[in-house]
Structure 1
Amino acid sequence: MDKAVFLDRDGVINRLNRGSYVTSWSMFEFLRGAKEAIARLSDSGFLIFIITNQSAINRGLLTEAGLEVIHNNMLFEIEEAGGAVEGVYHCPHRPDEGCKCRKPETGLFNQVGEDYDIDYPNSWFVGDFESDREVADRMGLKFILASGGGGLEKAVKEILNE
Structure 2
Amino acid sequence: MMISRIETIEDRLVVGMAIQTSFLNINEDTKQLAQIFMPRRAEVNSRIGKHVFSIQNYGSSFTPSDPKSEFEKWVGVEVTDFNNVPDGMKTFVISSGTYVVFNFKGSESEFSKSRVYIFKEWLPNSGYQLDQKAHFEILNEDYSKDLKNIEEEIWIPIIKKS
Q: Identify the TM-score tier after normalising by the shorter chain.
A: under 0.3
Q: Which has the higher helix share?
A: 1
Question: Rg: which structure is higher?
Answer: 2
- TM-score between the two structures when normalised by the length of structure 1: 0.25
Q: Which has the higher strand share?
A: 2
